[in-house]
Amino acid sequence: MSAGISARIPKLVQSAKIPLVRLSQLRMDLFTSTMGTVGIGLTWRAASEVIGAPVAIGELILLAGGILYLVLLALQFLRFIMIRQSVIEEWRSPPAFMFFSAATISGLLLALAALPYSAVLANCIWWPATIAQLVLLFAAMRRWIIRPHNIADLGPTWLIPMVGNASPAFAGIALGHVDLSRALLMSAILCWLVFQPLILFRVVFAEPKLPPVALPSLNIMVSAPAVIAIASWMTFGKGNFFSEFMTYCALFFAISIATLGRRLVEAPFSRRWWGFTFPMAALSSALIRLSDVRPGAFTMSLAVAGLTIATIVVAGIATRSLRYLTAPLASAAALEPHNKEQDDATI
């Protein structure tokens, strides 16, 4: 029966006149948009609990993020059925492969979003996303071990599948999966400690330098310690030094990257700009939790500033993305063609 349904899907897509060229351009890196949307929604939820922000804002954003995630999942399923070779090529491309974890991390964020409403629903999201995250991590590790690499291949996107292992702790601790969540968090910390210095070496000393189109990926160095900080607070409790240390590491990287100024946005607007959103949301969420642990004017100022900046960034990029999605195909920079040169620039 399922085979019959799968066989009918291409005809349904063709009858709906969904252009295959657009479908082929809907790659896994688009899930960074759900990471940013759900991330800022969870940040507003945290702000409502800690600094008294309106509850409805975060919940409405989370609803929008959940709908967006389901739409992207459906489109990826159609893409796999209609043009499977496009998905296979993306899986085989070293830079593009890293963004498969954006889908699993988005799922783990949605598990946390669903938790106050239904533990059953949260579990139904958490388990598949966690298992998929583990598969992607070990697939990445296997690929790195058996394939030749040079320093120019290394980039901030390598952190996505590795530090993504901290994400199961977000909802996993509350769902009762304590030991598994702790084990995954420890692996994420280990990977960050090992690879962060290598990535800094590549960014600062190695040639060629990152091209302008790849500069948004530097923000992953902000999200990695911020995600670990949040997961550590949820795992070990509020009063731990390590979470505070990781939060300030994320803030340090954010300020350092911000000094690049206009260089960060030299390249034309594209889907890669969504790379700004989740790091800002994760940092803001970590700062809000820091203000809860260390109440004071300084930490509260950081929390409010982080929430404000993150919201402006996500809203601005979402608005521009909507414009491009309604633009003609030829001018839609958010759906640029898939080619190796752009894959390499994504590193």
Q: List the one residue out of 257, 219, 241 whose CA is nearest residue 290.
A: 241
Q: Which pLDDT does position 335 carry in this prediction?
A: 46
Q: Cα(60)–Cα(180) distance, rounded to whole angstroms?
A: 31
Q: Which pLDDT does position 7 carry in this prediction?
A: 52
Inside any domain, residue 136: yes
Inside any domain, residue 13: no
| C-alpha 294, offset from chain centre | 27
* CA dist 56 → 44, 111, 247, 280 (Å): 9, 18, 26, 21
Inside any domain, residue 215: yes
- Residue 274 in contact with residue 219, Cβ under 8 Å? no
Q: Cα(24)–Cα(183) distance, rounded to whole angstroms?
A: 37
Q: Cα(103)–Cα(133) distance, rounded to whole angstroms?
A: 9
The token duo for 291 is 């203000």
Q: Cα(154)–Cα(43) distance, rounded to whole angstroms?
A: 30
Q: Cα(313)–Cα(276) distance, rounded to whole angstroms?
A: 7
Q: What is the identity of the amino acid at 103?
A: A
Q: Which pLDDT does position 63 carry in this prediction?
A: 97
Residue 188: give its domain's CATH number: 1.50.10.150
Say which residue the tokens 């958490």 belong to. 126
Q: Which pLDDT does position 10 carry in this prediction?
A: 52
Can you give the pLDDT of all 347 residues of the chain as single tens digits? 455 554 555 555 454 445 655 676 788 889 999 999 999 999 999 999 999 999 999 999 999 999 999 999 999 998 888 888 888 989 998 888 999 999 999 999 999 999 999 999 999 999 999 999 999 999 999 999 998 888 888 889 999 999 999 999 999 999 999 999 999 999 999 999 999 999 999 999 888 888 888 888 899 999 999 999 999 999 998 778 999 999 999 999 999 999 988 888 777 777 788 888 999 999 999 999 999 999 999 999 999 999 999 999 999 999 888 877 766 544 444 445 444 444 444 43
**Cα-based angle 128, 86, 208 (whole degrees, multiple of 5):** 95
**Cα-based angle 209, 214, 215 (whole degrees, multiple of 5):** 80
Inside any domain, residue 104: yes
Q: Helix, strand or coil for residue 331?
A: helix
Q: Cα(40)–Cα(56) distance, rounded to whole angstroms?
A: 13
Q: Which pLDDT does position 4 carry in this prediction?
A: 55
Q: Which pLDDT does position 18 carry in this prediction?
A: 54
Inside any domain, residue 280: yes
Inside any domain, residue 23: yes
Q: Cα(39)–Cα(35) distance, rounded to whole angstroms?
A: 6
Q: List the one residue out of 258, 234, 239 whose CA is nearest residue 306.
A: 258
The token duo for 188 is 């994420």
The token duo for 153 is 């291949």
pTM of the model: 0.88
Inside any domain, residue 7: no
Q: Which pLDDT does position 87 carry in this prediction?
A: 87
Say which residue the tokens 């019959």 belong to. 4
Q: Cα(319)–Cα(334) distance, rounded to whole angstroms?
A: 12
Phi, psi of 154 (to 5 degrees): -75, 140
Domain of 313 in residue numbering reads as 19-345
| Number of domains making up the chain | 1
Inside any domain, residue 2: no
Q: Which pLDDT does position 48 carry in this prediction?
A: 95
